[in-house]
Chains A and B, each alone.
Chain A
Amino acid sequence: MMQEIVKVQDLSVNFTGEHGNVQALDDINFSVREGEFLTVLGPSGCGKSTLIRTIAGFQKPVEGQIELKGKKVLNPGPDRIMVFQEFDQLFPWRTVSGNLKYALKVSGIEAEKRNEIVDKYLELVNLKRFARAFPHQLSGGMKQRAAIARSLALEPEILLMDEPFGSLDAQTRTILQSELVRIWEKLGTTIIFITHNIQEAILLGDRVLVMSTNPGKIKDIVPVEITRPRLPETPEFMGLWHKLYSMLEVKRFGENGK
């Protein structure tokens, strides 16, 4: 049994938006094992983004707490690096390698070591040719690759991915999904990955955490016992897809009484 790296206990978070203070998350309890790939699946508005942002330290819980390796999470920090959905997460005034180098500099890596690390991670995401390009010269998929490289280069305890492929076209998305699995298998990084796409949740995750909405609660945590590489056409994949789909559907038509 691998060690638990993240422990979320009795978490309750409010979200302040246009309609005042709304309870976004209620009574969330789960933990992530070291090296695990956990996908969080839920309909939009279920608070899955709030959940990952609270783990990252951008939002404060009302109740409960999050522990990373036994230490309580209070603020954002480079031990939990976030990959966003937005394409503008790279600094446009720095080149691709400049973005990686700057992140390494801020986290205190000595200047002599930075180049080597940058090369290693750009190679890993197949962006070495574009090291000297500026972000605006890259396609959306390449920007997300660069952002993933920058995050991995910092060697965080956990990688937090908030629908990083949500704005990509289907084809690029499929490619990046399989590359992410390849990178994860190689590095063994612990990952929490937010998605509203059932297929993506099954393709990537060791376990799928399914959420329900109003307020966001954990519906179930479903282990994915399909050997990788996973193919959506196989019966076991389709079986699990329908199972997860019905879990999301029950919420939509059942609990709201429609």
Chain B
Amino acid sequence: MNTLKKIYYNKFVRQFIFIAALLAIWQIVAASGRYSELILPDLVSIWDALVESVSTGELWEHTSYSFYLIGTALGIGCLLAFVLTALSMLSPLVADFMKTITTVFHPLPGVALLPIALLWFGIGKESVIFILVHSIIWPLILNTYTGFRSVSRTQLEVGRNLGLRGLNLVSSVMIPSAFPYILTGFQIAWSNAWRSLVAAEMIFGASGGKGGLGWLIYQKRFFLETPAVFAALFVIIFIGIFVENFIFAQVEKFTVHRWGMVVRRS
């Protein structure tokens, strides 16, 4: 009885049961034959489409292109965010300016910039990267700046007491001390970017014969390969869960949790 109760209250067991139940309902409805396979394919054909997509290398190709886009955007975004934050730390005037434009642009969803991106950069990966950079830098700047401002005065003075100055003080005391905030900013930046990416890819499609996961879904719908559309959706969900609940969770476990530096998410 006690073990059963333990299993019943285990978070993962529960989540597994929920997902299994949802999939079972799906399969029952789809197999009933009430809906066309073009509208609601059953799990078996989705699985087959997934296997085929993997075996032809198609899935890998599109996934890696998506990662290439998001990776480039994260690189540019981080660089920009850190430069702008550093400038804000140096001058209160720049800080006020940054605070203002962050407040203005942070609430603007990346996808809303699609028409502007089209006008400015045309159809191509530049437009996608522009939108991704937009969805990355504002949360990153906001959190990094808050992090730097919340560095303990005592720890800064301990650093100065040891003889650390300037950039040494920044890299040895300020960045590790602000790390929980920087990590949170990075997590928000990633999840914003991942969501914008799929949407943007559908609009901009492929350039030079290359496209990401969003483009894959769009193409499959065009050819009415509904099982492949669902297969790609599952892959997007899986990658999202993997990065947010596994990769970031591991980074947290070995840094902020280990150091007892957890901050509440804003």
Tally of contact residues, B, Cβ under 8 A = 20
Is A107 a contact partner of B162 (Cβ separation < 8 A)?
Answer: yes
Which of B152, B154, B176 is in CB contact (< 8 Å) with A93?
B176
Which of B161, B176, B179, B261 is in CB contact (< 8 Å) with A76?
B161
Name the prevailing secondary structure of the B interface residues.
helix
- Chain B residue at minimum C-beta to C-beta distance from A92: B259
Give every chain B residue within 8 A of A84 (Cβ-Cβ).
Answer: 154, 157-158
Q: Is A126 interfacial (CB-CB < 8 Å)?
A: no
Q: Is B208 interfacial (CB-CB < 8 Å)?
A: no
C-alpha spacing A142/B252, complex, angstroms: 26
Q: Is B163 interfacial (CB-CB < 8 Å)?
A: yes
Is A76 a contact partner of B157 (Cβ separation < 8 A)?
Answer: yes
Expressed in whole angstroms, the minimum distance between the Cβ of B255 and any Cβ of chain A is 8
Give every chain B residue within 8 A of A107 (Cβ-Cβ).
Answer: 162-163
**Given A91-B176, A92-B261, is A86 in contact with B162 using a C-beta cutoff of 8 Å?**
no
Expressed in whole angstroms, the minimum distance between the Cβ of B223 and any Cβ of chain A is 52
**Given A88-B152, A88-B155, is A82 in contact with B162 using a C-beta cutoff of 8 Å?**
no
Is A93 a contact partner of B261 (Cβ separation < 8 A)?
Answer: yes
Give every chain A residue within 8 A of B160 (Cβ-Cβ).
Answer: 58, 76
Give every chain A residue within 8 A of B264 (Cβ-Cβ).
Answer: none
Give every chain A residue within 8 A of B158 (Cβ-Cβ).
Answer: 82, 84, 89, 91
C-alpha spacing A77/B161, complex, angstroms: 5
- Chain A residue at minimum C-beta to C-beta distance from B175: A93
Is B154 a contact partner of A86 (Cβ separation < 8 A)?
Answer: yes
Is B154 a contact partner of A106 (Cβ separation < 8 A)?
Answer: no
Those of A60-115 within 8 Å (CB) of chain B: 76-78, 80-82, 84, 86, 88-89, 91-93, 102-103, 106-107
Q: Is B166 interfacial (CB-CB < 8 Å)?
A: no
Complex interface bits, A119-154 against B, C-beta within 8 A gives 1, otherwise 0: 000000000000000111100000000000000001
Is A88 a contact partner of B259 (Cβ separation < 8 A)?
Answer: no
Q: Is B216 interfacial (CB-CB < 8 Å)?
A: no
Give every chain A residue within 8 A of B177 (Cβ-Cβ).
Answer: 91, 93
Is A58 a contact partner of B157 (Cβ separation < 8 A)?
Answer: yes
Q: Is B258 interfacial (CB-CB < 8 Å)?
A: yes
Give every chain A residue within 8 A of B31 (Cβ-Cβ).
Answer: none
C-alpha spacing A106/B154, complex, angstroms: 17
C-alpha spacing A87/B230, complex, angstroms: 54
Is B155 a contact partner of A56 (Cβ separation < 8 A)?
Answer: no
Complex interface bits, B239-266 against A, C-beta within 8 A gives 1, otherwise 0: 0000000000000000100111100000
Give every chain B residue within 8 A of A103 (Cβ-Cβ).
Answer: 162
C-alpha spacing A80/B157, complex, angstroms: 12
Give every chain A residue within 8 A of B258 (Cβ-Cβ).
Answer: 134
Which of B157, B163, B255, B259 is in CB contact (< 8 Å) with A78?
B163
Complex interface bits, B145-184 against A, C-beta within 8 A gives 1, otherwise 0: 0000000101101101111100000001100110100000
C-alpha spacing A107/B173, complex, angstroms: 15
Those of A35-58 within 8 Å (CB) of chain B: 56, 58
- Of all A-B residue pairs in the complex, the 10 with the closest CB atoms, nearest first, are A136-B260, A86-B154, A106-B162, A76-B160, A93-B176, A93-B259, A92-B259, A89-B154, A76-B161, A88-B152
6 contacts between A and B (CB under 8 A): A89-B154, A106-B162, A134-B260, A135-B260, A136-B259, A154-B162
- Measuring CB to CB, which residues of chain B are less than 8 angstroms from any residue of chain A? 152, 154-155, 157-158, 160-164, 172-173, 176-177, 179, 255, 258-261
- Measuring CB to CB, which residues of chain A are less than 8 angstroms from any residue of chain B? 56, 58, 76-78, 80-82, 84, 86, 88-89, 91-93, 102-103, 106-107, 134-137, 154
